[in-house]
Amino acid sequence: MPSGKRVTLDLAGIDRLDTAGAWLLLRTEHELTARSNAVEIRNLRSNLEPLFEHVRKGGMVTPAGHPRPANHTIAGFLAQIGEITLGLLARTYTILSFLGLVCIIVVEVMRHPRRLRITALVTQMERPGSMLCPLSACSHS
């Protein structure tokens, strides 16, 4: 950036401008002035003047930095790995519990085959299937 010079910001080609654009232009003016430059803004359209004045009244606040996601740090990365691992362990525990229960029931049925009620088993197996398909889509005989 120049220092100790006369700088002109010619805004003749600017038809539309939002708050961010006005803030960037005023920040540039502020930085040039801080380096002992004589800054002049020319050809600012009259419909943009209220926006410039509004932004100028707000002052030159330094924008906050972009927040770094927690998993982009070593501690955050390790925490994310830990959470995923605990989730997988919980799922594994649930699946193994179910398989263990199935094994216990199979052993009990093998020891006492008369306790197996075929009609109740078929009814229980049929019930979820009938809940999944609408009556119009399934053929019931």
Q: What is the pLDDT of residues 14-57, one digit of tens each?
A: 888 888 888 888 888 888 888 888 888 899 888 988 888 888 88
pLDDT-based confidence at residue 1 (cuts at 50, 70, 90) = low
Are residues 110 and 74 part of one domain?
yes
For position 136, what pLDDT does the model report?
Answer: 47
Are residues 77 and 43 part of one domain?
no
Q: Please give the single-letter amino acid code of residue 89.
A: L
Residue 134 has pLDDT above 90, yes or no: no
Q: Please give the single-letter amino acid code of residue 104.
A: I
Residues 6+ apart with CB under 8 A from 17: 25, 48, 51
Are residues 127 and 74 part of one domain?
yes
For position 141, what pLDDT does the model report?
Answer: 47
DSSP, collapsed to helix, strand or coil, labels residue 40 as strand
Q: What is the C-alpha end-to-end distance of the chain, expressed in Å?
A: 86
Question: Residue 23: which of 46, 54, 69, 65 has the closest Cα?
Answer: 54
The model carries a pTM of 0.42
pLDDT tens across 60-90, in order? 666 667 777 777 888 888 999 999 999 999 9
Token digits for 2?
């120049």
Cα Rg of the chain, angstroms: 36
Q: Which domain holds residue 43?
A: 6-58
Residues paired with 41 in a beta bridge: 9
- What average pLDDT does the segment 110-114 reach? 90
Are residues 111 and 77 part of one domain?
yes
